[in-house]
Structure 1
Amino acid sequence: MTSPPALLRPLGRPLLVDRILRAAPGSTVFLRAPAGAGKSVLMHQAAERAGVTVCDLHHPRLSDVQDGWLFWDVPGSARTARLSAQVAETVEHLVIAHRPAQKITGLARRILHGGSGTVDADALGLSAAEIGTRLPAAVTRRLCREYAGWPAFLPLAAMRAPTAGPTPDTDTDLATSYVSETFLAQLSPGPTTRLSLWLEAPEPDPRQDPAQDWCDALPPFVLAAPDPQSDLFAALRRAVAARLEGFTNSGAVTEVARALEAAQRPLAAMELLLDHGHESHAAQVLERSRGLELIYDTNLEGFSHAVLRFSQEIIATNETVLFAITRTLMKQGEFQRVRHLVVKHLGSDYLDPLKVLSRGARFSFAARRFRLNMMISEDMMPSDAMMQRLGEFMADYPVGDEQKWAAFYNALLEFEVRRRNFRAAEAAAARALIYFRKMGGHPLLEFFIHLHLAVLHLTNGDARLARPAARDARSGLERVTHPVAQEYRMLRLIEAALAYEEGQPQRLVTFLQDEFNDFARAEIWPSLFHFAIRYASQVVMDQYPASIRPGFLDGLWLHVAERMNLLPTIQIRTATAYQNEGRISEAEVTLQALGTARNTPAEEMTPDGLYRLADRDDIGLAMARLRCSVQHPAPGPLVDRQIDALESNPKITLREAIALKIWRAHLARKRRDTAAARTHLQAAFTSASRLGCFGVLSEQRIFLAPLLREARIRNHLETRPDIRATLTIYTGSISSPNAKARAGGLTEREAQLLHLIAGGHPNKRIAQMLHIAEPTVKFHLSRLYAKLGASKRAEAIKTAHALGWL
């Protein structure tokens, strides 16, 4: 493409020429700017006005001084240039054009006595105001917008106006070549790497950061107002990428990697080094980047991709690499591979935490710390001896390393939650947050602490304290700069559980439908997984017909891995589902099998045994067994003593205490003691209202439904404003058709049959679907018709629709 010759000629700069020529005698004028600023053109224009010529030698001679003037255009290839003392003393008017990286010597005496001035890059860049009408408006706009007003790009701006469409590839290639040969030619690997990082997300005025030592190579307009969409930026990116590729292919890999590491890009540095076979250097980068902690500062996928590339030789000789890889595998749920790796490289006794954590153990401090991480993922229930060993291990922690101390208290927090020492867990969380504040904060790890606190409080049954913890968790997560999809999924579970506690189960239902599988496949600490199973299984029991519940609970078996002791929790929840359906014998069989598997002694259910229970699963099993006894048609007097013992047990949660009060009210109603039933139920509702823990009421609806149908009990409760509000929340929480049917007096089997007859299924098909005899179907239907005041299917379905049960 050709352009009018006038557009390709340099623009006159009369104002800058006047500024140069008006300089006082004896002073020195510097034209200091990167390549392409038009320094040489300006110098020739000024020299022409002065009636002299320009010197472009490395060392001007005395003969180059004309009429007292010396216009010295320092060659671009010169790193340093010197003016001789003889010339410096002879010349009256000295003008020097040079690039910022070039060092000019021999001028100190002259500048000291005569002074100096500088026409810098800001002054040399062309603006629309200076150009005026000397160029077509389209060319001016293109020069200023696409090329930051840099004079060297005037020919490109003239060849292609913005109204003509995209710049041809030839123009882009030309701009890229020019940038590479002029702007970047003097940049070494380090500055080039730092420039490439700035180009990824350019921010204005990088010159304020001394570490950005590449700024003098670029036009200042680019730095002051970067436009990543401009043609100049496109050329810069291409030129920098090509130059970096040239550096890495020519043996400058380690220098580029050092720059990446200094810019807080350790993973990029490691990837580059591993790509070019510098594995030991990559391991050093990992060590300097705090190894195991780096996984919390970067994207998990990127971290995994980098560390899993190390060879077996490096893994065998470098513990930092070993533990980075094993931590990554734990995050991916590959716990069996973790065990194999640590046994292979550290010995089989590494699997015994008491041996590893004891004072004087043969293992390094890093190995002992990682064993602590493994204990968290293994769902290990620490004994008193183990907690004592942890205290001894604490003495080996380095003073002043806040992140290590915060991590230690995070582990302690998890262990105390498992041990149901909630006050001790809160203290550990507070201590961890103190250490995070000392180190200047760590949003992701602080998120985990606050999320842990939310789990702790909801597990205990105090939704009031869980809500601010969840808000703090969200605040921390929103400050994390790298992708944290799984962490947001954890947060959504907590927020859905809080909504459930407020009588709004739909968010938990949605989480179960859309996100639970992805949540369960990721690496999750055990307390959160147990928490998730409890809430997910409860909302299934509340909101879904019984026919789909076994599928969900059976699906949880996929996550019964060797690192998580999920069997008791799943079996207890399965038994609870049977209890809610009135299938007490099946619930008892399930619990009996679990008790046998756990080798639970019979005396555990004695009052003394119940009072002494401390293990999470033992308490859960005892509560489930007691729930069967409470539901028995004729519970014996021992039930009351068992409830007394559990209520006195210091390990019982606030949530369980409310359930026990509801069970007392149920037993009192069975014994026709309405006054006692009212008292116990009022205490349960008062506690639920005070704690904001309304989910437990929904969980115990099998007992509450008949209690609240009695007018004398309900009318008494409704005299209290706080209990009236709680009753409203409870009523709203059971708003699903199935829940309404249950609250209206149907058994689980009757509610199930109602859905099946509404679906048009005949008795024979229903019997096949439910694996029961056809006469049993007829028996249940007769009871269903009686409760609905109907004599046939059509009437029952019509009434159920009117009640909102279908």
Structure 2
Amino acid sequence: MADTPHKTIDIRRDDLLQRIVTAAEPTVVLDAVAGMGKSTLLSQLASRLQCRIWRSARPPGEEDFFDDVLLWDVPPDMQEAEIPATWQDEGRRVVIAKRPRTRLLGLDRAIAYGKALCLGAQDLRFSPGELEAVYGKVEAALLLTETGGWPFLVGLLSRSSRDEAAVTRFLANNVVSETTDFELVQLRLARQTAKASAKAKQAVPAYLQASGIGGALAAAVDMVLAERIEDGARVPAISAAYAAHGMQTEAILVLQGAGLHELAVRAFAANFGRYYIFFHGSEAFDRVLAGFPAELATQNEGIVTALAMQALKRGEVLRAQRLLADCYGSRANNVLKVLSDRAAFSAAFRSFRLVMLIYEDVVLGDDLLEQSTTLLSEFPLDADLERGSIYNSILEFYIRRRRFAVAQDIADRALFHYERAGVPLLCFYINLHQAMMHLMSGDAVRARRNSVDAAEQLSRVPFESPMDARLLALLQACVEYEDGKPEPLARFLASEMDDFSHGEIWPSLIEFALQYGSQALSEHFSMIAARGFLDRWRAYQVYNRQFRLMIEVRDAVILQNGNRWQEAAEKLSAVQARINRTWVEAAVDELTRLQDRDEIALAVVWLRHIVFEMPGRVHLDRQLAALASNLNLTGRQRLSIEVWQAYVARRRHNLTGARAILQKTFENAARLGTIAPLSEERQFLRELTGDRRISDFLQITPTSQQILRRLRDTGLPNAPLGEKNGLTRRETRLLLMIAEGASNKFIAHALGLSEATVKFHLGNLYRKLGCSRRREAIIAAKALGVIS
């Protein structure tokens, strides 16, 4: 046949012939695929024993023995034959050559009783010695590598040319077609280079791994596999074979490709449904979801929630909400109704709806927390994925409430369930949350430990996850930033931030990114760069109230750090919120009782503004103490307030109090391994550390001395703003105000002076800067670095 180029090399195989002739067993079976030299071997044996070979489609009988010798070359198309017990008598020699798919009845029993010897492909391959006798040592070694000793391949590669298509057809029709569905999938995986097919490679016979037929064998495998998939009856077995090799995505895709969507849905559910992404990665998740027909998105809960999870992971919260509404109606986006209605919504759906809260612009109240805790009781203790996810959702609640002690306990519970479920990616997220909490608390030492744990968990994830790698890079950069090393964060902001901002976003995560990103850019690049960074986030999260407020607060802080205090106040005044300047100026005890994250942020930034503008204001020290005692503050916020308290104490000539507060703050920062919160308060620290009576006092203790040195290494000047240019504190303040466009009347009102006094101070200011008008003074101040 033109398509079966299986002629083998006629090499005298005396050692193998001797083994067959002298075998203790009366029956020897040569059981191997086409091209393994079975027929050639029988011919050589017939010549040696001086007998004929039986090649008829009819099984031989007793009369077909020749001097108690029977050589039987079983036809390839014979499915089944029998080895009669009489063939196994002593003194007889039976040699049978067959292909693996031909079943010999009685063979297993004969082998078990020591009456039959089976020689397979491993035994029939050419040995190095046999090849060396014909080709020489060098060429024999090369042939052995390329052919695996397969006689068919040795003959093929010995010819000057070959028909590649004919080789493919031969392999398909005579080798690959004889494999089981499991073996066929094994072969296909073995031709791939993915780590998932390593076990398959080990199971494939060595002769099929020969380099000489790589392309032809791959084409033959694909050809046979396509034929079997087209035969719908074999698809479930092929899918099961992929699943048995751990190739769950391919197993489901095979079912989908054959239109067996009901079986595909079952397989998807058996592989954890919406959690599939955490076991197999986003690429596999997307491929599987793309294979389901569109109507399933409105009919099957598992597919609906998986599609919604896909949208959430892409940062498309509105799309996720639409998917649920299309399936269940608008009530699906009323979280309280969903959680309380057991009759209409399954426990699994309610659990997913709770997870969505991590991504949504929703204020989490005590009623939601109560419903969430109740939902836990509906899942058994070993429902690790569901219980872990519920704890994960509750964790977000406590992070937003700044109740970090309780949040750490919840995180430990979530981590316990995720570890028991064997999902390192979800464990990575919990480690990430824990590190974020410690950074918010100002504890960089513990955050560093969590970042190491997070990296270890991510290294165990069996697929590539670029977005999560970015999360880890951001975390590690922020830990380094807390330690006074801005370079890693600067690199991240320059190379990764744009891709990061268009992916999965949790409110607690965006707060984390906004805080560190804007601070790093304003301190080490420019205020313009920092505000541009915030503008990119503002454009992307235009519909999210929480994100907008976070951005506005951070923008105001950046303006304050750039000495544009009037502009910062105008921005804060435009925020529609209960906490405004009037509320903060009147509040004392109320500051202690604030709970909402956003309200606390507004109170903190307004109080910062008041400290700068009016450090001598009545009750300001009481207000700062009240806010510092608020248990819902982050550690970073508390460190900042302590700096302001020291600043106010100095302005009120309480030098002893200022030194004591600042020393305690520096000691806390050293213990927690953090420098970044103090670095952001350089506006106030410049004046404090520029006072020799304070700095000399701080130099006494090694801890405070270390913090001072690290602050100066990160760019904190030794002298207060303007002092190095010969400006008084009041003149510096005037310069900052005119730079923002303030009129003499506005300045007089803000500083409690007459307009004449303002003009007098402006005259002194112009003289020191060597100019005669406002515009020249502003240009000179920028050139001297007094203003940004």
Equivalent residues of 1:717, 1:723 under 8 A apart: yes
* Residues 303-312 or 476-485, more deviating: 303-312
The answer to whether structure 1 residue 199 and structure 2 residue 191 are counterparts is: yes
Aligned twin of 2:653: 672
Pick closer, same or farther for the CA change 1:602–1:514 going to 2, 3 Å.
same
Residue 71 of structure 2 aligns to a residue in which SS?
Answer: strand
CA contact under 8 A between 1:13 and 1:42: conserved in structure 2?
A: yes
The residue aligned with 1:116 is: 116
- How many residue pairs end up in the alignment? 751
Residue 16 of structure 1 aligns with which residue? 16
- Per the TM alignment, residue 599 of structure 1 is displaced from its structure 2 partner at its CA by 8.3
Q: Distance in 1 between matches of 2:380 and 2:581?
A: 42
TM-fit CA distance, 1:771: 8.0
Q: Residues 783 and 57 from structure 1, CA distance in 2 versus in 1: closer, same or farther, beyond 3 angstroms?
A: farther
Q: 1:571 to 1:214 in 2, by over 3 A?
A: closer
2:170 — aligned with what? 178
Shift of 1:149: 1.3
Amino acid at match of 1:554: D
Q: Distance in 2 between matches of 1:19 and 1:295?
A: 56
Partner residue in 1 for 2:95: 95
Shift of 1:315: 1.9
1:746-790 residue CA offsets vs partner (Å, 9 max, x unmatched): 79x99xxxxxxxxxxxxxxxx9999899x999998866679xxxx
Partner residue, 1:387: 369
Alpha-carbon shift at residue 359 of structure 1 (Å): 5.8
Question: Is the counterpart of residue 401 in structure 1 residue 383 in structure 2?
Answer: yes
1:205–1:269: structure 2 CA closer, same or farther, 3 Å change rule?
closer
2:756 corresponds to which residue? none
Pick from 492, 509, 533 the counterpart of residue 528 of structure 1. 509
Q: How far 1:339 sits from its partner (Å)?
A: 1.8
The whole-number CA distance in structure 2 between the counterparts of 1:702 and 1:536 is: 19
1:616 aligns with 2:608: no
CA contact (8 A) 2:196 2:247 kept: no
Distance in 2, matches of 1:290 and 1:395, equals: 20
Indicate if the aligned counterparts of 1:705 and 1:745 stay in contact, CA closer than 8 A: no
CA distance in 1, matches of 2:61, 2:392: 73
What is the RMSD of the two structures over their aligned residues, measured on CA atoms? Answer: 3.6
For residue 469 of structure 1, the aligned residue among 440, 450, 456 is 450
- SS, match of residue 617 in structure 1: helix
Q: Which amino acid in structure 1 is aligned with residue 633 of structure 2?
A: I
* Residue-by-residue CA offset, 1:528-561 (whole Å, 9 max, x unaligned): 1111011111112212333444333222211334
Distance 1:370 1:596 in 2: 31
Q: Residues 50 and 202 (structure 1 numbering): CA distance in 2 closer, same or farther, change over 3 Å?
A: farther
Correspondence 1:443-454 to 2 at 5 A:
443-454=424-435
Question: Equivalent residue of 1:29, what SS?
Answer: strand
The structure-2 alpha-carbon separation of the partners of 1:562 and 1:260, relative to structure 1 and needing over 3 Å to count, comes to farther
Q: How does 1:285-296 map to 2 (within 5 A)?
A: 285-296=267-278
- In 2: Cα distance, 1:628 partner to 1:701 partner: 14
SS in 1 for 2:30: strand
Q: 1:414 aligns to what?
A: 396
Question: Residue 758 of structure 1 aligns with which residue?
Answer: none
Cα 1:778–1:545 shift into 2, 3 Å: farther
The Cα shift of 1:214 comes to: 11
* Deviation, structure 1 residue 598: 6.7
CA offsets per residue over residues 275-323 of structure 1, 9 Å max, x none?
Answer: 4443333323322222100011223134224314533422222111111
Q: Which runs of 5+ in 1 are unaligned?
A: 1-6, 161-167, 751-766
How far off its partner does 1:333 sit? 2.2
Residues 777 and 149 (structure 1), Cα distance of their counterparts in 2 relative to 1, 3 Å cut:
farther
Contact 2:766–2:777 (8 Å) recurs in 1:
no
2:463 counterpart residue number = 482
Q: 1:65 to 1:783 in 2, by over 3 A?
A: farther
**Could you tell me which amino acid in structure 2 is paired with residue 571 of structure 1?**
E
Give, in whole Å, the separation in 2 of the partners of 1:599 and 1:667: 21
2:147 equivalent in structure 1: 147
Conservation of the 8 A alpha-carbon contact between 1:560 and 1:567: yes
Instruction: Name the residue aligned to 1:718.
Output: 699
Determine if contact 2:9/2:154 at 8 Å carries over to the other structure. Answer: no
Residue 750 of structure 2 is matched in structure 1 by: none
Asked whether the 8 Å contact 2:616–2:652 carries over to 1, the reply is: no
Letter in 1 for 2:121: A
Opposite residue 179 of structure 2, the aligned amino acid is: L
AA aligned opposite 1:81: A
The answer on whether the counterparts of 1:470 and 1:494 sit within 8 Å (CA) in structure 2 is: yes
1:602 and 2:614 correspond: no
The one-letter code matched in structure 2 to 1:220 is: A
Partner SS for 2:345: coil
Aligned to 1:764: none
The 2-side partners of 1:783 and 1:687 are apart by 40
Q: Is the 8 A contact 1:661 1:680 kept in 2?
A: yes
The answer to whether the Cα contact below 8 Å between 2:348 and 2:386 also exists between their aligned partners in 1 is no
1:507 corresponds to 2:506: no
In structure 1, C-alpha distance between the alignment counterparts of 2:207 and 2:693, rounded to whole Å: 82
Quote how far apart the aligned CAs of 1:130 are: 3.1
> 1:252-651 residue pairs with structure 2 within 5 A?
252-358=234-340, 360-439=342-421, 441-563=422-544, 565-594=546-575, 596=577, 602=583, 606-651=587-632
| SS of residue paired to 1:94 | strand
Q: Secondary structure at the match of 1:680?
A: helix
Q: 1:18 to 1:240 in 2, by over 3 A?
A: same
Cα distance in 1 between the residues matched to 2:237 and 2:524: 61
Deviations 1:109-152 (A, max 9, x none): 75566533333322221232332231255642442112211111
CA offsets 1:29-54 (integer angstroms, 9 cap, x no match): 23233332222222221222111122
With over 3 angstroms needed to count, the CA separation of the structure-2 counterparts of 1:580 and 1:86, relative to structure 1, is closer
Structure 1 stretch displaced more, 133-142 or 149-158: 133-142
Aligned equivalents of 1:139, 1:204: Cα separation in 2: 34
What is the rounded CA distance, in whole Å, between the counterparts of 1:31 and 1:778 in structure 2? 111
Structure 2 counterpart of 1:177, which letter?
R
CA contact (8 A) 1:261 1:285 kept: no
Moved more, 178-187 or 526-535: 178-187
Q: Which moved more, 1:68-77 or 1:291-300?
A: 68-77
Q: Cα gap change, 1:579/1:795 in structure 2, threshold over 3 Å: closer, same or farther?
A: closer
For residue 454 of structure 2, what is the amino acid of its counterpart?
A: A
Cα distance in structure 1, aligned partners of 2:173 and 2:762 = 88
Cα deviations by residue, 1:180-212 (Å, 9 ceiling, x for unpaired): 122212124443223212321388998xx7xx7
Q: SS of the residue aligned with 2:135? A: coil
SS of 1:565's equivalent?
helix
1:48 is the counterpart of 2:43: no
- Structure 1 pair 109/548, CA: closer, same or farther in 2 (3 Å)? closer
Q: What code does the residue aligned with 2:278 have? A: Y
Give TM-score scaled by structure 1 length.
0.85
SS of the residue 1:71 aligns to: strand
Of residues 130-139 and 47-56 in structure 1, the stretch that sits farther from structure 2 once superposed is 130-139
Cα displacement (A) at 1:508:
1.4
Match of 2:217 in 1: 236
Within 5 Å, which residues of 2 pair with 1:696-775?
696-734=677-715
Provide closer, same or farther for how the CA distance between residues 596 and 527 of structure 1 changes in structure 2, counting only shifts above 3 A: closer
Q: 419-428 or 599-608: which moved more?
A: 599-608
Deviation at 1:495, TM superposition (A): 0.9
CA distance in 1, matches of 2:36, 2:194: 22
Local SS of the residue matching 2:389: helix
TM-score (ref. length: structure 2): 0.87
Moved more, 566-575 or 278-287: 278-287
SS in 1 for 2:155: helix
Q: How far apart are residue 366 of structure 1 and its match?
A: 2.3
Instruction: Look up the SS of the partner of 2:464 in the other structure.
Output: coil
Rounded Cα–Cα distance in structure 1 between residues aligned with 2:80 and 2:627: 87
Q: Tell me whether 464-473 or 421-430 shows the greater mean CA deviation.
A: 421-430
